[in-house]
Each structure stands twice: as C-alpha cells, then as structure tokens.
Amino acid sequence: MNGADAAAERVRNAPIGVFDSGIGGLSVLQALRAELPAERFVYLADTGHAPYGERGDAFVARRTHTLARYLVQQHGAKALVVACNTATAAAMDSLRQRYPLLPLVGVEPALKPAASATQSGRIAVMATRGTVSSARFGRLIAALPPQVRCRIQACDGLASAIEAQAACAPQDAAADAAKTLELCRRYVDTLGPWGNKAGETDTLVLGCTHYVFAQDALQQLLGPKVQILSTGEPVARQTRRLLANAGRLQSLPPSPSTQTFAF
C-alpha cells in the first residue's frame, strides 16, 4: 500500500463526530448507529452550556465552532454531524466555509416530509426560539407548498426540562417528568386543534432533537390520529450518502464503538 492509499485508509477508519448542546443529539446518534453499524463515533455533549435554544446566534455559533474544532483536531473526525437544530441554524453555513472538504450534516425540522405526509393540509412545528427565529427556518417555511398551512410554536423551557429530567436523581424523577409533561401539554394546547378532519392539524414536526425524548408523552396528548416526525433517520441516511461520495465509509471489518464526552 503506497502513502496515498494508507492515508485514505486512515481517513476511512477515523470516527464520525456528533455533537449537541446536551442529550438531544443522542436520538440522532441512535439512528446513525443503526444506519452505519460498522462505524466508530465520538459524541460530544456541551452540557455546560445546554440548552442552546434560548441563547443568541453569536454564542451558539462560537460554541459550535469550538466543538467542531475539538472533534477534528483531537479525534480526527472524518465527518461531523451537528445534531442540534439551533446550532445548525446558527452555524452550518460558517462551518461549511471553515471545513470545505469535510462531510458536514446538520439537523433541520422535517417540514418537507410533513408537507408530503399531511392529509388535512395543516402541520405544526415545535422548536426552540433560536430555531424558529432563524433565517434558515424562514427559508424552510417559505418553501412549503401554498396549500399547506403551518403553525409554529417556540417551546421555551422544554429542552431544559428534558435535559434536567435525564440528569435528575431518582427521588426527583417524578417532579421533573411532571414539569416536562406540563410544558408539552401547554404547547400542544396552544397549537391545536389536532386530528385528521378539515381544519385540524394532523402532523407535528419535532424541531429540536431533545423533544424526541418526550415523544411518547406528546403522542399520548395528541392521540393516534396525529403523526409525529423527527429527523434522526433522514440525517443518518444523508451521512451515509456523503461518506460514500467522499470515499470515507469504513472499509475494515466491523469494529463499532462510541466514545462520549461532556464539556
């Protein structure tokens, strides 16, 4: 094997870097591991600054670049998955400028799939304030077919509650779960009415990776006639496509592993 081939082999066997402000990106990581079972992953949770959704774009962009730089320089990541809607909205364009040769995958609310899936012509999005106020999100909304109506809800406090619930001591679990449920109920009630009849919303888009961890509670509140869409599986498929196009898919026999770090 010559030097160029050896270098290419090292890149193929390098890990994929995945990061989020906290636990939300673990829902994306789960989909990635299912789609790419032979790959190695490094997951980075910026828990000291979580969640990002109610912080300013400049702050989120700085943190995003800090995490990306760490994964590239310290772990030799062959691709980066920004498993956070807010970070994608605030920093994906500048990340592409900083790393033009690196496969980069962001997370965006699944508005296009929702527009295709709805039967009533009405969809809704639950997301962080940082996401719904971003220009990137505005472009997604503008691209919706004119016959699809979309209601948008900035869910202040929900990502924080889900993060706290995941980290709580057993004796505090009931109280933290109740807080998460109450916030879900509040935002669901604001976005209604729900159902598959004319004038009702039949599709909910989860525009924050944290919200996947409240999906069961949301489904109970919405009922069986409402479908909930998230982005983990589409992100995993896009990651595979970009790695294949770049010649960076794992070439050795499977030796999957995941390293997790918290900042």
How far apart (Å, rounded) are the C-alpha atoms in residues 155 and 176? 16
Q: Check 84, 150, 155, 184 and give the catalytic one.
A: 84
Question: Do residues 159 and 53 lie in contact, with contact meaning Cβ atoms separated by under 8 Å?
Answer: yes
Query: Quick one: tokens of 83?
Result: 């498993």
HSE-CB for 50 with a 13 A CA cutoff: 27
- Rounded distance between C-alpha atoms, residue 97 and residue 108, angstroms: 19
Active-site residue identified among 150, 155, 184, 208: 208
- Whether 168 is a known active-site residue: answer no
Q: How far apart are CA 73 and CA 230, in angstroms?
A: 31
Note whether 64 and 91 are within 8 A (CB).
Answer: yes
Residue 173 makes CB contacts below 8 A (sequence gap 6+) with 165
Examine the residue annotation and report whether 84 is marked as an active-site residue of this protein: yes
Specify which residues 153 forms β-bridges with: 126
Please, are residues 92 and 104 in contact by the beta-carbon 8 Å criterion?
yes
Residues belonging to the active site: 84, 208
